[in-house]
């Protein structure tokens, strides 16, 4: 597939991930106020993130590989499954897709008469953590969650795995990750997702953005090299 089409697919996939996942958090998680049965809550937001990946992996994964996440691209490279020369272009369009989605979500959210954006689904630690978790806990959470996300991705997309089911496993894994870690960091495991909304959130999101690049990339590298070793055929 030509590079322009692959990059367009990555842009669309990342856009949908950020708009669908973060949009559910900003617009629907507490719709009508706390305790309102119409609000989807933590479970709904977790499921929304998983569904965005599942749907776009089926829609455009055959075009670009369905990364939608700089950490995924890095992990695939570390596992020997993605060429290093394509890393820069992929990461760039993923970030642009996230920012475009953040801008669209901002325009939608500010359309309400009583709009209060607050954290705008941004990731954070300390006072910006939903549960008040510190930087160390946030860093460890993002490394470990990204590591296992990549282990699952690399496992279910290997040649030995059953064909056609990878997007389901990946989407469910991302849902599980959010169920575990939303209280800690609001869940990133995706630098493009973090960047896409940080610039539209209240003060404090951008200064903490470094953690949501560094930790997921470390987790992805460990997973990539580990999976390469695990799946290496002797001889």
Q: What angle do CA 191, 228, 47 make, to 5 degrees?
A: 40
Give the pLDDT score at 235.
Answer: 52
Question: Cα–Cα distance between 148 and 117 in angstroms, integer?
Answer: 31
The whole-chain average pLDDT of the chain stands at: 95
Give the pLDDT score at 163.
Answer: 83
Measured CA distances, 47 to 44, 88, 140, 158 (Å):
5, 30, 23, 25
What average pLDDT does the segment 46-71 reach?
98
Identify the band that residue 118 occupies on the pLDDT scale cut at 50, 70 and 90. confident
Measured CA distances, 106 to 52, 81, 197 (Å):
19, 36, 9
> How do residues 4-34 score in pLDDT, each as one tens digit?
999 999 999 999 999 999 999 999 988 877 6
pLDDT above 80 for 37:
no
Give the pLDDT score at 38.
Answer: 78
pLDDT above 80 for 112:
yes
Residue 197 C-beta-side C-alpha neighbours within 13 Å: 31
pLDDT above 90 for 126:
yes
What average pLDDT does the segment 129-138 reach?
98
Identify the band that residue 233 occupies on the pLDDT scale cut at 50, 70 and 90. low
> How do residues 183-208 score in pLDDT, each as one tens digit?
999 999 999 999 999 999 998 999 99
* Residue in the block written with tokens 């959130």: 201
Give the pLDDT score at 40.
Answer: 92
């Amino acid at each position: 597939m030509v590079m322009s089409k692959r990059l367009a697919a990555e842009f669309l996939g990342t856009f949908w991930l950020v708009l669908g996942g973060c949009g559910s958090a900003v617009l629907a998680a507490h719709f009508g106020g706390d305790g309102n049965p119409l609000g989807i809550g933590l479970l709904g937001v977790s499921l929304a993130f998983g569904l965005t990946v599942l749907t776009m992996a089926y829609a455009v994964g055959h075009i670009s590989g369905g990364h939608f996440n700089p950490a995924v691209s890095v992990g695939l490279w570390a596992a020997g499954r993605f060429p290093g020369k394509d890393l820069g272009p992929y990461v760039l369009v993923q970030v642009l897709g996230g920012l475009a989605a953040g801008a669209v979500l901002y325009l939608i959210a500010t359309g309400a008469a009583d709009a209060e954006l607050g954290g705008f689904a941004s990731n954070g630690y300390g006072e910006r953590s939903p549960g008040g978790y510190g930087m160390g806990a946030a860093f460890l959470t993002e490394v470990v969650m990204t590591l296992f996300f990549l282990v699952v991705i690399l496992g279910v997309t290997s040649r030995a795995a059953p064909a056609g089911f990878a997007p389901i496993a990946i989407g469910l894994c991302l849902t599980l990750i959010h169920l575990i870690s939303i209280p800690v960091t609001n869940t990133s495991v995706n630098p493009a997702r973090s960047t896409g909304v940080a610039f539209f959130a209240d003060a404090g999101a951008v200064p903490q953005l470094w953690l949501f690049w560094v930790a997921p990339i470390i987790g992805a590298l460990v997973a990539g090299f580990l999976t390469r070793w695990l799946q290496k055929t002797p001889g």
